[in-house]
Amino acid sequence: MRKKPGTARPWLRGGALAVAATVGMVAGFTGSANADPVNTYVTVGSDTIQDISNALAANVGQGTIGSWDAVNPGDPTNPHDTINPKPGCSMTRPNGSGEGFAALRKSINPSTTATQLANPPEPGCVDFSRSSSAPTSFGTIDANGLIQFIPIALDAVTAATGPATAVTGTSDDAVATAITHADDLTVGNLQTLYSCNPVTVDGVQYVPDGTVTNATTQPIHLYIPQAGSGTRNFWASTMLINATTPPACVHDHSVLDPTEQVQEHDGTIFAQDADALGPFSIAQFISQSNGHNDRRHHVAIHSLNATPPTVAGGLNSNFPITREVYYAVKRSRITSGSSDFDPVLTGLLVSADATHPSVLCNNSLAFISFGFGKLKNHFCGQAAADLRIFPNANQI
């Protein structure tokens, strides 16, 4: 079975401190590094926003930010390798929002109860984490919370399948999807399917993990990304299922090859399995279509509720399934007057208001190129009271 080839790009992106400068144009985001930089600030976690984070970090300059990918891009089939993000730091690479947030908590509080990977980070090794999960995935909102989630952009998630027509005779072959009515599905249809019940669309009955019983029956293999993924948690919540123990018909490994894990926003499984359907970030699809870390493998994304996922090549902000994506940081580090206030980190992450963006928010062209839309309920870089969790230090 075809495995996803390695992608030649640096393990992390870093870049020169320019807190007062405007982050540069997207064209400057395509270089590579021959050695790991010495990073002042380290971010890990979500695959969904790693590419835009890498690009923004590269443009800040001089190793100021090290944005470490969710999986080693030189060896993507073997996640959880060891990384050394700062001098004196050795840790297992976090794969996804949950693992990235847990690593942040361990970096802040060595006694944290957050579940850790084999080699957890030492104190201070992670400065902020990338998250496609909302703060409510980790704790209860509290205006006095000690962890601040900072929204950066709007994403949307939809159903993906393999391509309509098979791709053969190349180094990146893909089977044609058998889910030929995916564009006619509704959110309600998907929730029914993900509860392991059949759905009939345009005269075809799609049966989760079923077998063909007649000409109008079509089996469907329902997928969800790897454990620890923010997209897994978000999709499970949207599908009304448990992310930790999903129904038996929902798979985070290939049905055809149970040793192969489903990685979020990666078309490998869909290219191999004609009966596959699963979530895919629309922003990631656009970003990869624009040449940023392309790992689509001919995947197709679909309309839901008769609403297209893109409009004029950009994310459709009116899509029925949207979400904010975030950076998470210890609140005191961005609070003037606190004992560990860091004005440089604050300038990188926090916007004074909607018209005075932070360094990492100050590039609308970058966010467009990487597929993201404009936030609806917050502004990029807003340190809002309704995005804080953990009011007590022992909760971190």
Q: Residue 108 has which token pair?
A: 């802040």
Three-state secondary-structure class, residue 50: helix
pTM greater than 0.75: yes
Continuous H helices in 221-295:
230-239, 268-272, 282-289
Q: What residues does each domain of the chain span?
A: 12-153+324-395, 155-315
Which residue type is seen at 209?
Answer: D
Predicted confidence at residue 48, as pLDDT, reads 93
In the Cβ-directed half-sphere of 156, how many Cα atoms lie within 13 Å?
A: 28
Which of 210, 156, 208 minimizes the C-alpha distance to 325? 156
Q: Are strands 300-301 and 82-83 parallel, antiparallel or unpaired?
A: unpaired
Contact 237, 189 (CB under 8 A): no
Which of 387, 324, 308 minimizes the C-alpha distance to 132? 324
pLDDT tens across the length of the chain (396 residues): 444 333 333 334 433 333 333 333 333 343 333 344 467 999 999 999 999 999 999 888 778 999 999 999 888 878 899 999 999 999 999 999 999 999 999 999 999 999 999 999 999 999 999 999 999 999 999 999 999 999 999 999 999 999 999 999 999 999 999 999 999 999 999 999 999 999 999 999 999 998 888 889 999 999 999 988 999 999 999 999 999 999 999 999 999 999 999 999 999 999 999 999 999 999 999 999 999 999 999 999 999 999 999 999 899 999 999 999 999 999 999 999 999 999 999 999 999 999 999 999 998 889 999 999 999 999 999 999 999 999 999 999
Predicted confidence at residue 43, as pLDDT, reads 97
Predicted confidence at residue 91, as pLDDT, reads 97
- How many Å apart are CA 216 and CA 381, to the nearest integer? 50
Residue with tokens 């992106």: 13
Q: Residue 264 has which token pair?
A: 């979020």
For the domain made up of 155-315, the CATH class stated in words is alpha beta
Q: What b-and-e string marks burial along 22-52, b requiring 16 or more CB atoms within 10 Å of the CB?
A: ebbebeebeeeeeebbebbbbbbbbbbbbbb
Predicted confidence at residue 38, as pLDDT, reads 60
C-alpha angle 369-349-225 in degrees, rounded to nearest 5: 60
Predicted confidence at residue 39, as pLDDT, reads 75
Rounded (10°) CA dihedral 314, 315, 317, 319:
130
